[in-house]
Structure 1
Amino acid sequence: MIERVYIGLGSNLADPEEQLRDALKAMARLAQSSLSGVSSFYASDSLLPGQPRYTNAVAALDTSLPPLALLDALQAIENQQGRERLERWGPRTLDLDILLFGNRLIDEPRLKVPHYQMQARAFVLYPLAELAPGLTFADGRRLDDLLAGCPFEGLERLPG
């Protein structure tokens, strides 16, 4: 069965916009998957002071891969692009997060879907709204309601 998956992309090291473009090319080559949409790129401040600004986007991927197989494939892309997992909130060349996976609720040690912090992150919600306006999550939350509680402040939509 093919399911629509939304993936958050972020980078704040080593030419972040290029990191995102390279990740999207790699995602488009994933087995049993096709890249079906990409939001605009956005610049946002880091959640921690003293780090470079992030470039963020959201991609829509149609896939028949099981959730943990997709997670493994996305982590392989991160690793290929120089991702080092030294600290939880540290700067990174690439971060790929599964935000939503079809209509599934997933609670695994390695994967929580819907992504457990997306409701408070403008750099996730606004790009997601470009791809899926009016979306309702599997847990019943509505994207429009989350957007209403998460101001656009601190985001900059990048040209191109």
Structure 2
Amino acid sequence: MASVLIALGGNVGDVRQTFRKAIANICGMAQAELLARSSDYTTPPWGDENQARFINACIEIDTRLDPHALLFTLHKIETKFGRDRGTEKRWGPRTLDLDLIAYDDAVLDKPELTLPHPRLFERAFVLVPLAEIAPDRVIAGRTAAKELANISTAGIERLPDLH
């Protein structure tokens, strides 16, 4: 089994319900066990700032799927929830974004998949929820908790738990 970190994001529709359903799909389709789920956070948009705020979270799963099969599965789930990677605007609005952050200690640099995620340590909207569930996990020689101390978390707010 591989320990995998996945970041979730979205700003179109009922994102928190989409997360709930998407996580169930990830566990089912990736034959995975959910080990941890962060709180949901509302975050300022990244890249194209002229759009609605995002909701972001992170999960940790155990899966037997290899990294490429898992990425394929994550893209299939995004499509199921209305995302069209082929026509969307880069960093634009989306119903669901699933990013493979880390897969065990794997290091890959392929056109279709880079592990760990190449911009992980630049993005507070990933580091805040990641530090909640895996603060001391070493990724590329660094930890989310330490890297989070080096970037601004302005505008990021933890949302109350859904009941």
* Alignment TM-score, normalising by the size of structure 1: 0.94
Which runs of structure 1 show a deviation greater than 6 angstroms over 4 or more consecutive aligned residues? none
Range moving further from structure 2, 25-34 or 51-60: 25-34
Matched residue, 1:130 = 132
Aligned AA (2:56): N
Q: CA deviation at 1:23?
A: 0.8
Matched residue, 1:39 = 38
| Aligned counterparts of 1:118 and 1:87: Cα–Cα separation in 2 | 21
Task: Please list the CA deviations of residues 94-123 of structure 1 after superposition, one character each: whole Å capped at 9, or x if unmatched.
Answer: 000000110111111111111111111111
| Contact 2:30–2:70 (8 Å) recurs in 1 | no
Matched residue, 1:49 = 49
Q: CA deviation at 1:6?
A: 0.2
Aligned AA (1:147): L
What secondary structure sits across from 1:84 in the alignment? coil
Q: Percent identity?
A: 42
Q: CA deviation at 1:126?
A: 1.2
Number of matched residues?
Answer: 158
- Asked if 1:147 is matched to 2:148, the reply is yes
RMSD: 1.1
Matched residue, 1:10 = 9
* Alignment TM-score, normalising by the size of structure 2: 0.92
| Aligned counterparts of 1:106 and 1:154: Cα–Cα separation in 2 | 32
| Aligned counterparts of 1:52 and 1:155: Cα–Cα separation in 2 | 13
